[in-house]
Amino acid sequence: MRLDKFLTETGVGTRSQVKGYIKKGQVTVNGNLAKDGSVHIDENKDTVCFQNKPLSYVKERYYMLHKPMGVVCATKDNINKTVLELFDKELQKGLIIVGRLDKDTEGLLFLTTDGEFSHKLMSPKKHVEKTYYFEADGVLMEDDIKKLENGVEIGDDEPITLPAKVSHVQLMDKKVSGRLTITEGRYHQVKRMLQAVGCKVTYLKRFSIGKILLDDSLLPGEYRELSHAELEALGYIKGKDE
């Protein structure tokens, strides 16, 4: 691993900050003053110190989970099973839930040990798209779809919702299904948006966040690590300056 990458991943600072620390002689490798951040080190064997303090490298972990219905997005719950309990015990420590899904909603959820990843992905400024498949009692007419796409009031003190995308709408016997894409994460937002146009959600599943689709090989309750390519597709490179 490159020295500058190692320093950013151990929380010393951003790449530009790390470059400055090296120039100031604040980084050593095996007791020798580091001169170039591009030099490669063995993160498991070499001793790297910052301001005379040794650094330990622990690989951050990023997971995709197919959250099942009936499980809550919480670290602890006295009544319900939590998403953390779906993971092997040795993996649970330090996991952060990225965003939330309601107890009765299933689908794509990320968990990580990297707080920076969670913050950047869920930051309201990012407007990351999240797409849901829904089934509801009611009908969606063209006017209703336009309302959802332009923004609706959902009964709180916030402004109307940001513009959404509605697609794959199917109607049958006063029931409707389709896809709704939003860029916010307000409380029960999808349910409340559809309720605002007269539809009561009976089933809800999130199947994409940004460019990442729920892996259809994952059964409810199963998880796997996100690949480097998937992290890049989410626009996330740890330590990159914004």
Sign of torsion over alpha carbons 95, 99, 102, 104: negative
Same fold, 3-54 and 62-125+215-233: no
Domain positions in the chain are 3-54, 62-125+215-233, 130-209
Active-site residue flag, 102:
yes
Distance CA 89, CA 97 (A): 16
Task: Assign domain 3-54 to its CATH superfamily.
Answer: RNA-binding S4 domain (3.10.290.10)
Please name the residues in contact with 201: beta carbons below 8 A apart, sequence gap of 6 or more: 134, 135, 136, 190, 191, 194, 195
pLDDT tens-digit map of 115-150 = 889 888 888 788 899 999 999 999 999 999 999 999
Residue from 4, 36, 88, 102 carrying the catalytic annotation: 102
> Residues in the chain with pLDDT < 50?
239-242
Question: What pLDDT was estimated at residue 228?
Answer: 87
- Predicted model pTM: 0.77
CATH architecture of the domain with range 62-125+215-233: 2-Layer Sandwich (3.30)
Question: What pLDDT was estimated at residue 171?
Answer: 95
Question: What pLDDT was estimated at residue 238?
Answer: 59
Question: What pLDDT was estimated at residue 156?
Answer: 81
Both tokens of 207, joined, read 């199947």
Q: How far is CA 209 from the centre of its chain?
A: 7
Question: What pLDDT was estimated at residue 192?
Answer: 97
Q: What is the CA radius of gyration of the chain?
A: 22
Q: Looking at the domain 130-209, which fold is it?
A: Alpha-Beta Plaits (3.30.70)
Sign of torsion over alpha carbons 94, 95, 98, 102: negative
Angle between helices 142-150 and 189-196 (to 10 degrees): 140
Question: What pLDDT was estimated at residue 237?
Answer: 65
Please name the residues in contact with 156: beta carbons below 8 A apart, sequence gap of 6 or more: 186, 187
In b/e form, how buried is each residue of 112-124, taking b as 16+ CB within 10 angstroms? bbbeebbebbbee
Both tokens of 189, joined, read 């937002």
Read out DSSP for 2-48? BHHHHHHHTTS--HHHHHHHHHTT-EEETTEEP--TT-B--TTTS-E
